[in-house]
């Protein structure tokens, strides 16, 4: 018979709507054994302006691509579930690339089980990796990268790709929640940055102390963690006698996005504060600010 009233204050993110015009009327094939996952993915693609169809039978994918080719309705990309029924997603990707060669659609592997080592070792034919469920911002980022790679005939010398900009850079990502670490590693990893992780502030402090000065170029630090929270870890790092203790950028990466949280981050010695869930464009801007040699 009790009645509870809960008030939740949420910060409204100032995000810029990405240009979705290049994706209009492009066609994507979704391959997943779960019908609900297929429909959900197609719904996200429709929001972007992409025409999508789905199929649950992995053995029929080659035939479906061929039919679309004959009808002059070629697929720009195929999103394949890693654990599609009747055939392994990576094996299917390899088969598509061998069958269609340079005319093969771009292949994006959707992954739910990040513990599968095959995801890291057998992806020569994969053009992109995305976690399930699909999110619009992440999907846009991957599709944009694929489209730019395919359309770029002569490189623009005035532009530097993230892979070139961040080559050889290494960061430490600190978060106590495994799925948060996996998603962040996936997003940041697309830039070519080497990402190492820690489960809490104490582990982060130990790793920072163990490595030589300059080993890490940036630390992304969650706030609410067991053993040692982000504020405590940052203060301890700043007090360290290591040569780079005062200079290494430490960025708060947390759902705590109120003004008082940002002030507390600054007082602890953090350089910047970005909110979760991660916005890809904001994350890239942050990385460029702190890791660019310029």
Q: Output the CA angle 254-259-262, nearest 5 degrees.
A: 50
Question: Rounded to 10 degrees, what is the CA torsion of 54, 55, 61, 66?
Answer: -50
Residues 259, 196 share a domain: yes
pLDDT digits (tens, 9 = 90+) for 209-218: 999 999 999 9
* 216 lies in some domain: yes
Q: What is the pLDDT of residue 279?
A: 79
Query: Which has more pLDDT, 4 or 154?
Result: 4
Q: Output the CA angle 147-149-153, nearest 5 degrees.
A: 110
- Collect all residues with Cβ–Cβ distance below 8 Å to 271 and sequence separation of at least 6: 249, 250, 251, 290
Residue 153 pLDDT level (bands cut at 50, 70, 90): very low
* 4 lies in some domain: no
* 204 lies in some domain: yes
Cα separations in angstroms, 94 against 25, 79, 125, 154, 289: 26, 14, 6, 28, 38
Write down the pTM of the prediction.
0.51
Residue 154 pLDDT level (bands cut at 50, 70, 90): very low
**Are the beta carbons of 30 and 54 closer than 8 angstroms?**
yes
**CATH number of the domain that 68 lies in?**
3.40.50.2300
Q: What is the pLDDT of residue 118?
A: 46
Residues 169, 135 share a domain: no
* 30 lies in some domain: yes
pLDDT digits (tens, 9 = 90+) for 161-196: 667 788 889 999 999 999 989 888 988 888 889 999
- Burial tier of 187 (Cβ tally within 10 Å: 0-12, 13-18, 19+): buried
Residues 169, 142 share a domain: no
* 36 lies in some domain: yes
Residue 207 pLDDT level (bands cut at 50, 70, 90): very high
Q: What is the pLDDT of residue 117?
A: 43
pLDDT digits (tens, 9 = 90+) for 7-53: 887 666 555 555 667 778 889 999 999 999 999 999 999 988 899 99
pLDDT digits (tens, 9 = 90+) for 275-291: 887 778 888 889 998 99
Residues 127, 170 share a domain: no
* 11 lies in some domain: no
Residues 30, 83 share a domain: yes
Residues 250, 178 share a domain: yes
pLDDT digits (tens, 9 = 90+) for 219-272: 999 999 999 999 999 999 999 999 999 999 999 987 766 777 788 888 999 998
Which residues form the domain of 116?
21-151
pLDDT digits (tens, 9 = 90+) for 108-150: 988 875 555 444 444 567 888 888 888 888 888 888 888 877 7
Residues 263, 243 share a domain: yes
Residues 179, 138 share a domain: no
Counting the structural domains of the chain, the total is 2
Q: What is the pLDDT of residue 64?
A: 93
Q: What is the pLDDT of residue 19?
A: 65
């Amino acid at each position: 018979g009790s009645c509870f009233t809960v008030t939740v204050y949420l910060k409204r993110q100032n995000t810029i709507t990405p240009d979705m015009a290049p994706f209009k009327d492009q066609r994507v094939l979704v391959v997943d054994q779960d019908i609900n996952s297929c429909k959900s993915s197609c719904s996200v693609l429709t929001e972007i302006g992409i025409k999508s169809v789905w199929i649950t039978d992995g053995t029929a994918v080659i035939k479906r691509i061929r039919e679309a080719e004959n009808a002059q309705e070629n697929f720009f990309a195929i999103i394949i579930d890693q654990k599609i029924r009747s055939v392994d997603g990576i094996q299917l990707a390899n088969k598509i690339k061998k069958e269609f060669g340079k005319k093969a659609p771009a292949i994006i592997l959707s992954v739910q089980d990040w513990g599968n080592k095959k995801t890291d070792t057998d992806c020569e034919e994969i053009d992109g990796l995305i976690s399930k469920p699909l999110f619009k911002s992440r999907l846009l980022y991957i599709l944009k990268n694929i489209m730019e790679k395919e359309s770029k005939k002569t490189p623009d010398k005035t532009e530097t790709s993230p892979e070139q900009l961040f080559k050889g850079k290494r960061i430490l990502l600190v978060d106590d929640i495994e799925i948060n670490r996996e998603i962040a590693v996936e997003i940041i990893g697309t830039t070519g940055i080497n990402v190492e992780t820690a489960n809490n502030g104490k582990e982060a402090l130990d790793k920072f102390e163990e490595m030589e000065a300059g080993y890490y170029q940036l630390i992304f630090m969650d706030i609410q963690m067991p053993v040692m929270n982000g504020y405590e870890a940052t203060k301890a790092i700043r007090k360290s006698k290591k040569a780079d203790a005062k200079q290494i950028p430490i960025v708060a990466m947390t759902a705590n996005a109120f003004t008082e949280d940002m002030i507390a981050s600054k007082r602890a010695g953090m350089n910047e504060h970005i909110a979760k869930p991660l916005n890809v464009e904001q994350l890239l801007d942050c990385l460029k600010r702190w890791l660019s040699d310029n």
